[in-house]
Amino acid sequence: MKQSEAKGRIEKLRTEIEEHNHNYYVLNNPVISDFEYDLLLNELDTLEKKFPEFRSEDSPTRKVGNDITREFQQYDHKYPMLSLGNSYSKEELMEFNSRVEKASGGPVEYVCELKYDGASISITYRNGNMVRALTRGDGTKGDDVTLNVKTIRSIPVKVKGELIPGEFIMRGEILMPRSVFDRLNEVRKKEELPPFANPRNAASGTLKLLDSRIVASRELDCKFYFLLAEELPHDTHYGNLKEASKWGFRVPDSIRLCRTIDEVTNFINNWESERKKLPFDIDGVVIKVNSLALQKELGYTAKSPRWAIAFKYKAEQVSTKLLSVSYQIGRTGNVTPVANLEPVLLAGTTVKRASLHNADQIALLGLHLNDIVYVEKGGEIIPKIVGVDHSFRNENSREIEFISYCPECGTELVKNEGEANHYCPNYLHCPPQLKGRIEHFISRKAMDIDGLGEETVDLLFSRNLIRNYADLYDLRAEQLIPLERFGEKSVINILRSIKASLNVPYSNVLFALGIRHVGETVAKKIAGTFRSIDDLIKADYDQLTGIREIGPKIAASIISFFADEENLSIINRLKEAGLKFREEAKTNTVSGKLEGKTIVISGVFQHHTREEYKEIIEKHGGRNTASLSGNTSFILAGTNMGPSKKEKAKELGVPLMEENEFLILIAED
């Protein structure tokens, strides 16, 4: 793969994975399986290792997912809550064992635990009393849900016993039993509310409710799997869990101490069938090194412990009839085909719909109407069609053909070269795109407008009060108060929140505009280079692709967005409303020693990381770019600099500056 192709693919993967993280952790509405997600993450990790010049501290390979929401206060985790590496085969498990045994110099004891599918929780106790309960959050800080957690009967508020540390943390998984989940969904259907997709979503959503009384009524449970403290009662993970169970924590009886890898595989094989008898959902087994000393020696990657791994079970599969295919339009115009199925029970829930992803998937499966299809839940969450039983096909059945026109607005669909999805280009007039863009605009990471949600946007849209996000700033109280579900207090809160959004930083505003392929990270990169929206509007292709992480596809999308007169008209309205379309001057400038200099960073460094050098360059008034050109002042050159870049620098007459020489230039001690 060429360097330019790798850069584009890396950016696409990062954007896609971040969107999936948001769907899973924040919206509790994942759209792909765990297995498909892991494939994307593994591909990104491989490319970043092969092309280290494109690595970024913001990459999803360097951080865990994020479930933080604005309704709760956040606190730092004393010990980071990392994610686990996943394996889907016994071969990967054996590779893990080999690495661990090599580090230990011999056989290793493992602790095997069921991998419950719920919401992770970290609870701090001081002098035996619960003081704070945090969600996983982004791994470094989480939402404070203490009041809600205190309503869960299986979680002790106070503990007594021997060997209890003065301060300790218990971590576990908050779960909703399937029986409770089924009853809850029956009630929601009667009340004409959308049912929860699965018990994991229901547990996670319940934990984030603002009314603790409702949380208490949901009959949540918790299984504990980790004890942390400065001074622990035992020097093994298994010993500490058994000790915690004496204090009143619900540590599962299923955990096993395994003295060989064969015992581990026996545990995995046994629970593959036995899991169906459990009242909770599990999707695998977690294998942990028992010795705390060896855990410490093995250490961590940026996002996972090297001393633990999750073995995921293969998805359950059933067959049913394909009744029809419908099509959904996303906010960016992407068209997603959805299979409508004859209802069938799969992994404990009734499945009526399954994702078909795109036209290529339909063609690959060769689907016909009324086919008997094989459906599975990848990762036990989102069902998808994986095959067809051709023996049941009627020879006169009609082949499923992907649509050519948008089912919402009638516009002819477009499929760009190199992209898998068709999309509707009528983004300014296609109703689901219009509403989706407004919903994106008001979201927490964008304009953070509180009090507005999907249902409210739909209502305002249906009443012709809004047609684009600029219309939000023209809303008046007398328009809103007469509407159903609106009260005077809620209207005041909405209008106050809209006004408060005028203080949102320029980079967030750029992200909020919903430019195709421009995610949160890319928006920050753009804002750091083009300090105002007017500079960005005038930017050409070469200037845009000169920014690290912006490839040809993103650059073309930005240029296309600002070439549209209607978009420019909306931006002018937003300017008049008072939104920030200029990056505020940085107050942390150290000096002007690099003022006016454009610097490319290449290679590996001893004293600082590449990300740190980018910040240092900015602090001293310089500008960092990824693209080498005749306007480059010099290359900050570390070891292992690519030969092609070195050759191009020679051709352009761009000097190379070594790390120590650069530090002398900026006079760093």
Q: Catalytic amino acids? A: 115
Q: How far apart are CA 502 and CA 420, in angstroms?
A: 37
Three-state DSSP at 127 gives coil
Contact 537, 560 (CB under 8 A): no
Angstrom CA distances, 119 to 25, 61, 72, 403, stand at 9, 21, 16, 39
Total length of the chain: 669
Alpha helices per DSSP H over 275-358 = 292-298
- Which single residue is written with the structure tokens 């020097």? 235
Per DSSP, the residues of 35-60 read HHHHHHHHHHHHHHHH-GGG--TTSG
Element (H, E) at 81: none
Q: Token pair of 379, please?
A: 């990762």
- Mapped to the 3 state alphabet, what secondary structure does 616-641 carry? HHHHCCCEEECCCCCCCCEEEECECC
Give the list of residues 6+ apart from residue 10 with CB closer than 8 angstroms, or none. Answer: 44, 47, 48, 51, 54, 549
Residue corresponding to tokens 């192709």: 5
Task: Give the span between the Cα atoms of 651 and 647, in whole angstroms.
Answer: 6
Structure tokens at 25: 């952790």
Task: Residue 337: name the closest of 355, 360, 352, 351 by CA.
Answer: 355
Return the closest-CA partner of residue 113 out of 235, 271, 260. Answer: 271
Bridge partner residues of 354 (DSSP) = 339
- H or E element that contains 173: strand 167-175
* Token pair listed for 614: 């980018």
Tokens of 630: 């005749």
Alpha helices (runs of H) in 540-584, residue ranges in sequence order = 541-545, 552-563, 565-577
User: Residue 491 — φ and ψ, nearest 5°?
Assistant: -65, -45
C-alpha 540/C-alpha 10 separation (Å) is 22
Long-range contacts of 469-474 (CB under 8 A, 24+ apart): 469/437, 469/438, 469/441, 469/442, 469/512, 469/570, 469/574, 470/570, 470/573, 470/574, 470/577, 472/438, 472/441, 472/442, 472/498, 473/498, 473/573, 473/574, 473/577
Task: Quote the crossing angle between the two packed helices 431-442 and 454-462, to the nearest 10°.
Answer: 130
Can you point out the beta strands (E) in 229-331?
Answer: 256-258, 282-289, 308-312, 317-329
124/642 Cα distance (integer angstroms): 48
For 457, the 3-state DSSP assignment is helix
